[in-house]
Chains A and B, each alone.
Chain A
Amino acid sequence: MAENHWSKALRVARDSSNTQWDGVFANSVAMNDWAVAVTADYAALNLDQRDIAIGGDFELIKMDLYKTAPENWENIVWGASTIVLMIAHLMDRTNPKMMIDYPFPIVSLLDMLEGPTPTREYTVLNGYNLYDWEEFGLTLPDVTNNYSDIQYAAMDMQDLLDGEGAGTFDMVRVGPQTLHSINNRVVDAILGLLNVGGILHYTNTSRFQSAYNLGTPHRHPYTDFNRHIAAQTNFDVYHVPMEQGMIIAKRLS
């Protein structure tokens, strides 16, 4: 399949970047093997794909990307991961403690997890993304042949909501699939994880720009969550309305 807009744009961006992982960021074959394994698992579970069950939410239809991966699609993953790498690098903290909700079997992450003393201390929120990564990502030959001492931690959502790890994380990267609940309880718990100077990287804050394109943004379901974050008095909150949108928020006190 030909490149789509995303994989093409991010391939060009990757060609124009110069970071230590650009050359070996992701192996297309391994990424495709991973996508095929995850897709097969989801197919076996016979998930309800009707519109009333999934609507247009990316998190629920993203398996379409895996099933019909465009050429050079690993560049899409590169685009998402590069922002995490950039922020973590520019923070310039020694052995930073990171929380993520969506790990990929890519070099830039795996290098950070390899022992005996991992460069970054990663915790992954418990959930289906952790399952996919452990079950189909960490078992790839490209991973097992190159990494023998992967180290990370996992935290349950219940423990997050109970305040586990509050004030101890240097950076948290999550998406709406984690943050959105019936109220702001998860948002508050995520913000509470950060220490002073710590940074939240919240991705896809617009549901593919729909929150920006709507003439009445207060009627978009994402807006309340975004404004709740913007209202935090102990954070500098930068809402970046590019592509899917993102929030970068730094804890000040």
Chain B
Amino acid sequence: MSEEKTDVPYGTLDLLILKTLATLGPLHGYRIARRIEQVAENLVRLNQGSIYPALMRLEQQGWIRTQWGTSETKRKVKFYSLTKAGLKQLSIEVANWERATALVARFLEAES
């Protein structure tokens, strides 16, 4: 694995999780982590464990819900899926993110 991996940008993990669930539907924790890693294509270093506190936070906010299901290894696991409120939150976060990156991009252009 590459040594130049950076951590997941601060505050983006929630967005990544929500987007993942919006795209793929209900998933368990490991699949969510894997999906983020695959999309990022080794650009970021993700401690897979760190998604669990994030999932718990999102659940407490009411943006995702959980259901118990069975994993491929026949073990009882939690499946996470997006709620209506979560879908709305996703669009808000996407908009926020786009605004933020647009702002930063503009500054960078202005400097050059």
Q: Do A and B bind each other?
A: no
Residues of A within 8 A of B (CB): none
Residues of B within 8 A of A (CB): none
